[in-house]
A and B are shown apart, each in its own frame.
Chain A
């Protein structure tokens, strides 16, 4: 690793490392029901933020592909979704553990939770759609168009609809549960670095996948040439 080129990877590792320490040892507000589980904010919520970050990269890449038809943008769009699906799965699993101890059940029929599930399926459909087509250019173009649709639906399902109705999940309509510690300085100095650190790690995962895909394609091409 070259320091001049890879400094951001070190920054990401340091930020997440700091979060593990400060997230467990730091001060948190004393709230009933949540108790110490409030610390999950640093770990559960960041997973969803990374997913949003990667899906945003993906939709931007898809738009870039549709404008200039360069294959690299199609590769970026696909692998950002794949890594985003991993962090979304971690978000769902950690959310279910947290819900089990605070709401009493791992899954409640709540607009935020169901919205997340529907968006997850929407992106699973994106990956299945890709696999269903042989022709590389046609696949890339149709997948890019679908990706824009999936992104808009995801924003509607997890960011807009839960705010219009009542939801148990914090950050949604009629639920002030998190407002008392949304403003807590002690938590902000851990939560924001956590988000930035995980953004960097998520991008790092994605970049390794992209580089491997490019290598694989070059290898396939050279096999044809030999």
Chain B
């Protein structure tokens, strides 16, 4: 990868080659199976439970954010009405 980086800066053909290689890099990537990853965890499929929980929490926070946003809008309207009267 280091060498590819250098070829990018040296000439335009190298740059083109770099882009092409980058596009197919996921296919070329030799996955090193010796490196421990959460394969078993993922094989059981239960990671989706965590994703679901995180999404629920995130949507709760967003709902609160929308609530505050609307509340501020309401106060802004009230302030405008008060100013015009």
Contact = CB atoms under 8 A, between A and B. Distances in A.
A24 B47 contact: yes
Nearest to B75: A215
Nearest to A30: B35
Interface string A125-139: 000000000000000
Contacts of A6: 69
A81 to B, nearest CB: 20
Contacts of A3: none
B22 to A, nearest CB: 6
* Interface magnitude class on chain A: 20 to 34
Contacts of A180: 1
Interface string A196-216: 000000001100100110010
B51 interface: yes
Nearest to A5: B73
Interface string A50-69: 00000000000000000000
Interface in B1-53: 1-2, 4-5, 22-23, 25-26, 29, 31-33, 35-38, 47-48, 50-51
Nearest to A219: B79
Contacts of B65: 204-205, 208
Given A176-B2, A185-B26, A211-B72, A13 B62 contact: yes
B51 A25 contact: yes
B58 to A, nearest CB: 6
- Contact-residue bracket for chain B: 35 or more
Given A183-B25, A211-B76, A215-B76, A31 B35 contact: yes
Contacts of A186: 26
A35 B35 contact: yes
A30 B51 contact: no
Contacts of A29: 29, 31
Contact of A179 (B5, B36, B79, B82): B5
Contacts of B25: 183-185
A20 B26 contact: no
Contact of B33 (A16, A30, A184, A205): A30
Interface of B: 1-2, 4-5, 22-23, 25-26, 29, 31-33, 35-38, 47-48, 50-51, 54-55, 58-59, 62, 65-66, 68-70, 72, 75-76, 79, 82-83
Given A17-B55, A185-B23, 12 more contacts: A1-B69, A6-B69, A9-B66, A13-B62, A30-B31, A30-B32, A30-B37, A31-B35, A183-B22, A185-B26, A218-B79, A222-B83
